[in-house]
Structure 1
């Protein structure tokens, strides 16, 4: 069977791929480039250049000579093979996600096994972003509070629902401590911060019985979230306590509501 020939990649996408793979912080090292460029069937034209430019020049040279992108894709396969990232799943998923944003513009996606799958070509940046990370895009659609992204962005990128929930719930206690200067945790923190008689934080004026009930209800809501989600994820292994995408979305929406209430609370 004849080997499939892949069309050349446009220069903008090619540059984007090179910048991801040659990124100073999360990309390949210079030593790795020296190993994988020839292994991928490319020519290392300028080993003294910056990493991404070194890669881009190798990519562009191959396309100019062959009018195909086969060995560029082979380079990605070799350098981002999953077995190289054992114990570094978060890094692997981050790089894979960033690469897939670029690859979606040429109708390809690198799956978690390190194999290219055909996908519908993205026409816009937002379309590429949404396709790569469905979970994060669904949170954005729900207008989730930005604190959630601040505390668990890497988990969201990897679509790790279990640890996303754990980190998001922990963000509630941390924000309460910041607003009150308390060093407590769990129920003690909540009782002290949202006491009806001597509150450190108030979500309303506490002048009527209805407002006092709302304060108590909010306090109990946070305790319930801690008990059901934070304590469970802290003590139960992921294989025992599973979190589906739909469940994670609902939990995150509840946590977002709590953060929005905290924003409006007064000392």
Structure 2
């Protein structure tokens, strides 16, 4: 590894606070083991976790005159193989570390390796560059359309508008597949109802059995509920009075992702039926 310029001590302190956090950081024994593996002297073993780690990393950097061993420690600590059973923790911790590292012009990539990046000058830039919400969504393999419709909001972790834009994307796709122009519950019923007319615009299956018809009805209820609960609320309630936290946003966007996958596979039943009648 090429020589890495010394990090600002404030960056080392912030890294230590993240990895030595009382609730979500490494345990004392884990810190001891990681320092040993990284060949960094544990000079302050009796102190609190983050201060212990800060002392060790800052001392090593001062001895070497460079940050190489600090990064070596980070890569050992954040090696994906160590955290395969807790992906949420890995993504969350990597996000926090990247907010700090971005001020030095570095990023911790998904493979656990440090790489150079554009240096951030503000907290807003660093947040945008290391969006925790986007990382979590990518780890869940969400449908590309979810990311496409709310990509600008995701960059600043704006959960409110991310949910609003993502739910709007469902209506956009239904209109695109059917040629309908309505919205909300009316659009859903027009597109999927097989009562009037008897052949729906879109079908999830062949609609031949009661089970298949029940699936279609359930999907209608899911979409109507999704629009009513999230899209309509976010469209009419000001952001300051209707808040969505991170876990809510992840779950809602994951549900939107599921809907998009089902819509992609939905058959344009009415067009198919009309074309068959023309042939006959």
Q: TM-score, normalised by structure 2?
A: 0.54
Query: Could you list the runs of 4 or more consecutive aligned residues of structure 1 that deviate by over 2 angstroms after TM superposition?
Result: 134-137, 139-148, 217-231, 252-261
Q: Is the Cα contact below 8 Å between 1:222 and 1:258 reproduced in 2? A: no
Provide the residue aligned with 1:74 in structure 2. 72
| Residues 1:5 and 2:3 aligned together | yes
Matched position secondary structure for 1:117: strand
Question: Which of residues 229, 232, 235 is equivalent to 1:257?
Answer: 235
Matched position secondary structure for 2:42: coil
Provide the residue aligned with 1:49 in structure 2. 47
Question: Where in structure 2 are there 5+ consecutive unaligned residues?
Answer: 135-151, 168-182, 190-218, 243-280
Query: Structure 1's 139 and 5: CA in aligned 2 closer, same or farther, altered over 3 A?
Result: closer
Provide the residue aligned with 1:29 in structure 2. 27
Give the root-mean-square deviation of aligned CA atoms. Answer: 3.9
Any residues of structure 2 matched to 1:39-118 within 5 Å, and which? 39-118=37-116
- Larger radius of gyration, structure 1 or 2? 2
In the alignment, the residues of structure 2 paired with residue 131 and residue 6 of structure 1 have an alpha-carbon distance, to the nearest angstrom, of: 22
TM-aligned CA deviation for residue 39 of structure 1: 1.0
| Residues 1:145 and 2:160 aligned together | yes
Count of paired positions: 178
Query: Structure 1's 109 and 142: CA in aligned 2 closer, same or farther, altered over 3 A?
Result: closer
Deviations 1:87-125 (A, max 9, x none): 211100000000000111111111111011210000111
Q: Is the Cα contact below 8 Å between 2:128 and 2:155 reproduced in 1? A: no
Any residues of structure 2 matched to 1:123-138 within 5 Å, and which? 123-133=121-131, 138=153
Matched position secondary structure for 1:145: helix
Q: Is the Cα contact below 8 Å between 1:144 and 1:253 reproduced in 2? A: no
TM-aligned CA deviation for residue 64 of structure 1: 1.3
